[in-house]
Amino acid sequence: MDLFAAEEVTALRSEIEEHNYRYYVLDDPSVPDAHYDRLMTRLRELETAYPELASDDSPTKRVGGEALKGFQQVSHDVPMLSLDNAFSHEDMQAFERRIHDWLNSNETIEFACEPKLDGIAVSLLYIDGILQRGATRGDGSTGEDITANVRTIPSIPLRLRGQGYPKTLEVRGEIYMPKQGFDALNAKAMAAGEKTFVNPRNAAAGSLRQLDPNITAQRPLQMCCYAVGLVKDGELPKQHSAILDQLHTWGLRINSESQVVKGIKGCAEYYQYLLNKRDQLAYDIDGIVFKVNDIASQKRLGFVSRAPRWAIAHKFPAQEEMTTLLGVDFQVGRTGVLTPVARLKPVFVGGVTVSNATLHNADEIERLQVHIGDSVIVRRAGDVIPQVVRAVLERRPADSVEIVFPNQCPICASDVERLPGEAVTRCTGGLVCSAQRKEMIKHFASRKAMDIEGLGDKLVEQMVDEGIIVELADLFHLDLERIADMDRMGDKSAQNLLDAIEKAKYTTLPRFLFSLGIREVGEATALNLARHFGDIASLYTASEEALQEIEDIGPIVAGHIFHFMQQEANQTSIESLIAAGIHWPAMVQNEAQPLAGQTIVLTGKLEQFSRSEAKQRLQNLGAKVAGSVSANTSWVVAGPGAGSKLKKATELDIEVLDEDQFAIRLAELES
């Protein structure tokens, strides 16, 4: 295994998951789309080059984020998948070659071309021609029910026109806000002294996520259809472009710029045509979607993981501007990594004024050959944080200063180190360093870890700054009056926080291990550790060799776990947490797990269990919970609304349980 690649994969996955959360859940993205696309591309490249680094919990295996708690959840019978990206003509040529190979044909391919609108993907469900439900894409399998809001959008028909539509028709498209409407909305907000939106996409997202549909109705939203999902009791045309034309006949809006072209040459010509026209369009686009037009060919090509083989998004180049690098600050993260952050002379690029950018690490600074005082090219294609592309060396001033990493941590003055084989520089202070302490507590309290609701980032920072929390166990000894006196708290908020902390004491061993923040130990690795060892005490004495016997744990991760568990301070911290009341049900170890080696699929709506609870209990029994049905599936749990997965299970003669049967089987297996 390549050590540099393993480190880079871990860092990429962590960064991408954070971006996914901010983009899909909070509607508050912190990086431009172009930067996110590059992260995903690089991660796919590494996972392809080093298959041993691939894992089921990688962001490349998933689509996006999760449904907001303010809306009812909706399960998509046909997953709403994402698209792979192309960034050059060579990428498009490779896409075409793959299609020819998969189809085993050299015939010229006809492509349907559509502008890639910068909005929110949604699903509209029509039954007998009447709009029954509107939903966001969410994580591709589960979205948010926004029916009341989509009903307020004039371009979405409440009843289809004409006749001949299928009894059940799911239409998919993009809800967006035109530039003129966005400008008017922001002008109105400014006049009222209210906060303005960053860009049209954020405005569209914020408008759709309103719990009051009256607010949505006041926003200038539009929708363009681009595909269909679930179709029952009816037929559609055999070409994608003809399907869109049919949707238009039934009263649904489609993009007037859509075209059909032949071969990769036609794609290139259309790309250049729309790129030249981009600034004159009434809406924002960030590229073009190319789809194989023939539906039969689409079905033959199928899907891989998170994306169809028959479609690709050719992204437009990011916008760029030149500015001056005024200085570099060094931020310290949860694991002690020092990240250099460029302070820029404010520049307007990509629709906003930006003044900082990450420089990643020392290797990146060396690659860019950038100095303080340089003119630098800044690229931005989405939101907030830009990327420094290069230094303009021919404009370098005589008084430019080389960027030098500090020998001591800028937060706690502890020594810093850069280990052989690592790209990053780290503070050695551990919990002595308040920056690491803050980030560690944030991770410990996060949703996938101990899930302490109400313990936000600013509150953690304030508690550490005021000395209320020095180590993790201090969280479980907080004083109500002291917390109530903190900024923006009060008695009720303080009591709610203490109640959430008390609730968090009952957890699972995998969650607890993940919450400790051991380097490169994600949810999947934590689950494997818990299954293998069954308790914390066994981990204290586990050798690196023993750790490497566990699935998906190689020498690097084994070393991180071993050294973490050998540190007396970490053992003391763990024991303090247990003494504070953290506990969990006993784990069944691998060799005794009744469902070891079995693959189970959950589909439809579960009423007695949440989807996450059902998945967790199955995993605790040794099962792998998959997202699709195949010949390797052991059995399927089908709740109300189960669709294509249930159908496929029936076709493959796979055992299917309803929820009552599932509950009985779980009870038997867990007894």
The pLDDT value recorded for residue 62 is: 47
Is residue 87 within 8 Å of 263, Cβ to Cβ? Answer: no
Looking at this protein, which amino acid is placed at residue 239?
Q
Q: What is the CATH number of the domain that holds 615?
A: 3.40.50.10190
Q: Is residue 421 part of a domain?
A: no
Stretch 588-615: mean pLDDT: 78
Higher pLDDT, 490 or 619: 490
Tokens of 428: 């050695």
The pLDDT value recorded for residue 383 is: 43
The pLDDT value recorded for residue 65 is: 45
| Cα dihedral 18, 23, 27, 32 sign | positive
Calpha distance 521→157 (Å, rounded): 48
Main-chain phi, psi angles of 130, to 5 degrees? -110, 135
Q: Is residue 409 part of a domain?
A: no
What's 415's DSSP letter?
B
* pLDDT band of 372, cuts 50, 70, 90: very high
Element (DSSP H or E) covering residue 261: strand 259-262
Residue 612 has pLDDT above 80, yes or no: no
Residue 63 has pLDDT above 60, yes or no: no
The pLDDT value recorded for residue 23 is: 61
The answer to whether residues 524 and 437 belong to one domain is no
Higher pLDDT, 279 or 332: 332
Q: Is residue 422 part of a domain?
A: no
Stretch 407-431: mean pLDDT: 82
Main-chain phi, psi angles of 117, to 5 degrees? -65, 145
Q: Which of 536, 490, 511 is nearest to 619 (CA)?
A: 511
DSSP E strands: which ranges in 76-129?
Answer: 85-86, 110-117, 120-127
The pLDDT value recorded for residue 288 is: 95
Calpha distance 420→403 (Å, rounded): 21
Residue 22 has pLDDT above 70, yes or no: no
Is residue 438 within 8 Å of 456, Cβ to Cβ? Answer: no
**What helix, strand, coil percent values describe the chain, rounded to 5?**
40, 20, 35
- The percentage of the chain sitting over the pLDDT mark of 70, rounded to a whole number, equals 92
Calpha distance 546→558 (Å, rounded): 9
Residues contacting 646, CB < 8 A, separation 6+: 603, 604, 636, 638, 656
Is residue 177 within 8 Å of 211, Cβ to Cβ? Answer: no
Is residue 343 within 8 Å of 406, Cβ to Cβ? Answer: no
Give the number of other CB atoms < 10 A from CB of residue 655.
Answer: 12
Is residue 646 within 8 Å of 603, Cβ to Cβ? Answer: yes
* pLDDT band of 255, cuts 50, 70, 90: very high
The answer to whether residues 52 and 130 belong to one domain is no
The answer to whether residues 296 and 168 belong to one domain is yes
Calpha distance 338→416 (Å, rounded): 9
Is residue 448 within 8 Å of 472, Cβ to Cβ? Answer: no
* pLDDT band of 229, cuts 50, 70, 90: very high
Is residue 126 within 8 Å of 161, Cβ to Cβ? Answer: no
The pLDDT value recorded for residue 190 is: 78
The answer to whether residues 114 and 40 belong to one domain is no
Higher pLDDT, 234 or 531: 234
Q: Which of 48, 39, 33, 1 is nearest to 17 (CA)?
A: 39
Using a 10 angstrom Cβ sphere, with 0-12 exposed, 13-18 middle and 19 or more buried, the burial of residue 558 is buried
Looking at this protein, which amino acid is placed at residue 376?
V
Calpha distance 400→501 (Å, rounded): 51
Is residue 292 within 8 Å of 301, Cβ to Cβ? Answer: yes
Is residue 221 within 8 Å of 210, Cβ to Cβ? Answer: no
Calpha distance 153→165 (Å, rounded): 21
Over the stretch 68-115, which tens digit does the pLDDT of each residue have? Answer: 456 888 888 888 888 888 988 999 999 999 999 999 998 999 999 999
Instruction: Find the Cα–Cα–Cα–Cα dihedral 191, 197, 200, 203, rounded to 10°.
Output: -100
The pLDDT value recorded for residue 165 is: 94
Give the number of other CB atoms < 10 A from CB of residue 328.
Answer: 19
Mean residue pLDDT of the chain comes to 86
* pLDDT band of 575, cuts 50, 70, 90: very high
The answer to whether residues 178 and 250 belong to one domain is yes
Of the residues 61, 116, 238, 315, which is catalytic?
116
Residue 195 has pLDDT above 70, yes or no: yes
Calpha distance 574→567 (Å, rounded): 11
Q: Is residue 415 part of a domain?
A: no
Higher pLDDT, 16 or 656: 656
Single residue among 484, 504, 524 that ends a domain in this structure: 504
Active site residue 492: no
Q: What is the CATH number of the domain that holds 52?
A: 1.10.287.610
Give CA angle at 204 (174, 267), nearest 5°: 35
Calpha distance 258→239 (Å, rounded): 14
Q: Is residue 407 part of a domain?
A: no
Residue 64 has pLDDT above 70, yes or no: no
Calpha distance 659→651 (Å, rounded): 20
Over the stretch 167-187, which tens digit does the pLDDT of each residue have? Answer: 999 999 999 999 899 889 988
Count of alpha carbons within 13 Å of 523, Cβ hemisphere only?
A: 16
Is residue 139 within 8 Å of 62, Cβ to Cβ? Answer: yes
Calpha distance 669→594 (Å, rounded): 7
Give the number of other CB atoms < 10 A from CB of residue 178.
Answer: 17
Q: Is residue 82 part of a domain?
A: yes
Calpha distance 411→427 (Å, rounded): 9
**What's the domain range around 381?**
319-402
The answer to whether residues 461 and 604 belong to one domain is no
Q: Which of 567, 529, 522 is nearest to 547 (CA)?
A: 529
Q: Is residue 66 part of a domain?
A: no
Tokens of 415: 């020594």
Tokens of 302: 């199928």
Single residue among 14, 30, 61 that ends a domain in this structure: 61
Q: What is the CATH number of the domain that holds 355?
A: 2.40.50.140
The answer to whether residues 293 and 325 belong to one domain is no
Stretch 32-57: mean pLDDT: 81
Q: Is residue 408 part of a domain?
A: no
Looking at this protein, which amino acid is placed at residue 60?
T
Tokens of 77: 């019978």
Looking at this protein, which amino acid is placed at residue 545?
E
* pLDDT band of 4, cuts 50, 70, 90: confident
Q: What is the CATH number of the domain that holds 536?
A: 1.10.150.20
The answer to whether residues 270 and 336 belong to one domain is no
Q: What is the CATH number of the domain that holds 147?
A: 3.30.470.30
Calpha distance 158→94 (Å, rounded): 42
Single residue among 550, 579, 608 that ends a domain in this structure: 579
Residue 289 has pLDDT above 90, yes or no: yes
Is residue 514 within 8 Å of 448, Cβ to Cβ? Answer: yes
Give the number of other CB atoms < 10 A from CB of residue 83.
Answer: 18
The pLDDT value recorded for residue 28 is: 62
> How many structural domains is the chain composed of?
6
Tokens of 430: 């551990």
What one-character-per-residue DSSP string does 462-493 give? HHHHTTS-SSGGGGGG--HHHHHTSTT-HHHH
The answer to whether residues 279 and 372 belong to one domain is no
The answer to whether residues 274 and 359 belong to one domain is no
Residue 231 has pLDDT above 90, yes or no: yes
Residue 256 has pLDDT above 70, yes or no: yes
Is residue 99 within 8 Å of 292, Cβ to Cβ? Answer: yes
> Which of the residue ranges 19-33, 139-153, 451-465, 527-541 would you say has the lowest mean pLDDT?
19-33
**3-state SS of 549-585?**
CCCCCCHHHHHHHHHHHHCHHHHHHHHHHHHCCCECC
Q: Which residues pair with 291 in a beta bridge?
A: 112, 311
The answer to whether residues 605 and 646 belong to one domain is yes
Stretch 282-287: mean pLDDT: 88
Higher pLDDT, 101 or 611: 101
Residues counted in the chain = 671
Q: Which of 337, 345, 238, 246 is nearest to 293 (CA)?
A: 238
Q: Report how far apart, in Å, the C-alpha atoms of 384 and of each of 20, 29, 187, 352 are.
A: 15, 8, 20, 7
Helix (H, G, I), strand (E, B) or coil at 117: strand
DSSP E strands: which ranges in 282-419?
Answer: 285-292, 303-304, 307-308, 311-315, 319-332, 338-349, 352-358, 371-372, 375-380, 387-391, 401-402, 416-417
Residues contacting 73, CB < 8 A, separation 6+: 67, 138, 142, 143, 144, 145
* pLDDT band of 384, cuts 50, 70, 90: very low
Higher pLDDT, 38 or 273: 273
Residue 591 has pLDDT above 60, yes or no: no
The answer to whether residues 9 and 25 belong to one domain is yes
- The percentage of the chain sitting over the pLDDT mark of 90, rounded to a whole number, equals 34
Tokens of 119: 């909005």
Highest-confidence range of 123-132, 422-431, 515-524, 541-550, by mean pLDDT? Answer: 123-132
